[in-house]
Amino acid sequence: MSTSPQLPAVAPSVTAELVEALSPRLRKRLDAGVAKLAGRPVVRDGDTVRIAIDDDTDLELHAPGSVVTSADAVRCGCLLAPDCLHRAAAASAAPVAEDVQAAPAGAAEDARAQSSAGPAAAGEAAQPPSPPASEPRPDSPSPGQLGAARAVFEAAAAVLEAGTDGAGAVLQAELLRAAHTARLAGLPRAASAAVTVVTGVRAARSADPAYRLPDLVAALRTVLGVAHRLPGAAGAELVELRGTVRQPYTPDASLRLYGLFSEPVLTATGYAGAVTWTADAEGRLYTVSDVAPGGAGRAIGAADRTVRIGDTALTHRELSRAGLAVSGATVSPTGRLGAGAGVRAVRASGVDWRGEPLDRLWAVPVAEQVRRALGDGPHDLLFLDVTLTGTVREATGDCLLADCEGLALRLAAAHDDPALPHRQNLRLLAAARGSRLRVIARLAPGPLPRALLLAAEHPSQPGVRVDLGLDRLQRADLPASAVPPAAVPVPDEAPLHLLRRRVHHAVSGGRRVLAFPGGAAGDPARLRRTGFTTGAAVLDELHTTAADRTRDAFGRLLPADTPRFARAWLAAACYTGEVERDLCATAWGFRSGSDLDGS
């Protein structure tokens, strides 16, 4: 089943309502109906999108503001309407919109700009406000929130049990209904994560090149974790689990900002654009974003759009190398600049990365930068001085290998979409072995020092920098003394991958792939031999719950204990994430403070 970018976004509650209205017979045919609809012609006329079902029948989606907000806005001309399959298939094929009312100006951008900081942030970004609900007690979840959390957990557990291969439109609609219920109950974090899971499942089922299994694993871990923890939460933990519907903007007087770099944003939820990072004289980072519904073309073109701050005519590409003077500025807690009516901005001069005040970003010790990125810091960017030394092959492609203060650092492509130049630029930089460059990268937690390369100094032109997701290097840009990349042997990693791959396999193939007898008989023993005793116990429990199927008095298999399997998977996913965090801290030269096993 594929998601069509030509269709307008549909609110989760609308999709859930249309699917629920189908008869059992039509529900069995829904996935086939979605696949068939994906190949039909689509025509947009203002706020109306028409799909030609056949030569005589059209299906219309009325989408003011490019969002379908009610089931009545989906109309079909076939003889079986409104109880036909076509309406539910269209909603299931369309991108998932933010639920209920439209967002205030800039709110959607705020949410998607945060998604550029990593997969976890995408599932927990600020959301548009939901209708008023009864005010919950601050020290405990309300009955409505408990019920909503239970519904989210059960729906997400059903998706996990089926895996991406088996989680068709019906299971997706159940999770979207639970997400809508959670939003109405005042649980925007759970609702947002549930929607992220659905969009990830759709991307997996349609073989979307932008799909990344680790992102879906992270989103599923978030939604199950929030729903599981909420009943026993109180105080600050409860506030965190509930989440917030939007990021508050606070006045920040006047700002003098210096451009750092721009990066494209291209999400699995159908949003695209660009985010430009800037810094003030004290080294605090601020972002200016232009993110809206769209695909790779919008992500590339957004760099040449005018920034939405005041009356300035600067584009994102120009701002990344220039400066900005802002008065009446408003800033979110994540550093995103607001674009309110009272904000004034004019172009100012920029500075080189090696000049003040930007030079101080690279003066911070690497270990301190990584500690901040792994903690609760406002961003996960790293400012590094590296020497390119070669390449190393990984399962997802070649990584650039660099020396960073004695660490063998892997620099990977920040995005794999072929429309973006990340990977091509990485291959060209690999040929500049021996070059010493300043780079900006995003930390990629793991057992080896690894980061996603975002921007770098030009390999042959001092003072020039390259936004690796927007600018395309040419072979002529390489220094005349460029040395061909050298292949570097891959060092042995901690055997945590034995558990990680089972966590990932469950998301892709569902419970059944872990239920095969003897599927991983030696993995727990290997984990115990290397000191991961808790990891071995977690893996044993995961396989036990996957294979545990009881029978009734007549020998017939009873339904599997889906919640138990989901809890076992959640324990394995959380354990893996925490150990990887600890291993990452150790790899970069410091301890994170966690104490898992003896590792």
Average pLDDT over residues 384-390: 93
Whether 330 and 251 have beta carbons less than 8 Å apart is answered as: yes
Least confident of 42-46, 93-97, 119-123, 135-139: 119-123
Query: 439 pLDDT band (50/70/90 cuts)?
Result: very high
Long-range CB contacts for residues 159-162, cutoff 8 Å, separation at least 24: 159/197, 159/201, 159/220, 160/220, 160/224, 160/506, 160/507, 160/510, 160/511, 160/565, 160/566, 160/569, 161/510, 161/511, 161/560, 161/562, 161/565, 161/566, 162/510
pLDDT score at 526 = 86
Q: Which residue has the higher pLDDT, 171 or 373?
A: 171
Using DSSP's 3-state secondary structure scheme, residue 246 falls into: coil
Check whether 513 has a pLDDT greater than 50.
yes
Check whether 132 has a pLDDT greater than 60.
no
pLDDT digits (tens, 9 = 90+) for 155-168: 999 999 999 989 99
Whether 126 and 244 have beta carbons less than 8 Å apart is answered as: yes
Check whether 485 has a pLDDT greater than 70.
no
Check whether 29 has a pLDDT greater than 80.
yes
- For 250-348, CATH gives 2.40.50
pLDDT digits (tens, 9 = 90+) for 300-320: 888 899 888 877 888 999 999
Q: Which residue has the higher pLDDT, 211 or 108?
A: 211
pLDDT score at 19 = 95
pLDDT score at 266 = 83
Judge residue 139's burial from the number of C-beta atoms within 10 Å of its C-beta, 0-12 exposed, 13-18 middle, 19 or more buried: exposed
The tokens of 399 are what? Answer: 């990584």
**Three-state helix/strand/coil letters over 446-493:** CCCCEEEEEEEECCCCCCCEEECCCCCCCHHHCCCCCECCCECCCCCC
Domain boundaries of the chain, sorted by first residue: 9-93, 130-242, 250-348, 364-477, 497-587
Average pLDDT over residues 68-75: 93
Overall pTM > 0.85: no
Fold identical between 250-348 and 364-477? yes
Using DSSP's 3-state secondary structure scheme, residue 57 falls into: coil
pLDDT digits (tens, 9 = 90+) for 244-297: 876 565 656 689 999 999 999 887 666 788 999 999 999 999 998 888 877 888
pLDDT score at 101 = 38
Type and span of the H or E element at 262: strand 255-266
Whether 259 and 307 have beta carbons less than 8 Å apart is answered as: no
Residue ranges in 251-314 assigned as alpha helix (H): 296-301
Long-range CB contacts for residues 349-353, cutoff 8 Å, separation at least 24: 349/322, 349/323, 350/258, 350/259, 350/321, 350/322, 350/323, 351/258, 351/323, 352/463, 353/260, 353/438, 353/457, 353/465
CA distance linking residue 420 with residue 236, whole number of Å = 40
Q: What is the mean pLDDT of the chain?
A: 83
> Is domain 364-477 annotated with CATH 2.40.50?
yes
Check whether 598 has a pLDDT greater than 70.
no
CB-side exposure of 564: number of CA atoms within 13 Å? 12
Strands 397-404 and 381-394: antiparallel
Highest mean pLDDT, choosing among 37-41, 214-218, 487-491, 567-571: 567-571
Residues in the chain: 599
CA distance linking residue 113 with residue 124, whole number of Å = 12
Single-letter amino acid code for the residue at 35: A
pLDDT digits (tens, 9 = 90+) for 332-379: 777 888 776 778 888 999 999 999 999 999 999 998 999 888 876 678
Average pLDDT over residues 528-538: 89
CA distance linking residue 327 with residue 315, whole number of Å = 19
Average pLDDT over residues 86-99: 87
389-410 as b/e: b if 16+ CB within 10 A: bbbbeeeeebbbbbebeebbbb
pLDDT score at 105 = 31
pLDDT score at 170 = 95
Q: Which residue has the higher pLDDT, 478 or 321?
A: 321
Asked if the peptide bond before residue 188 counts as cis, ω within 30 degrees of 0, the response is no
pLDDT score at 104 = 31
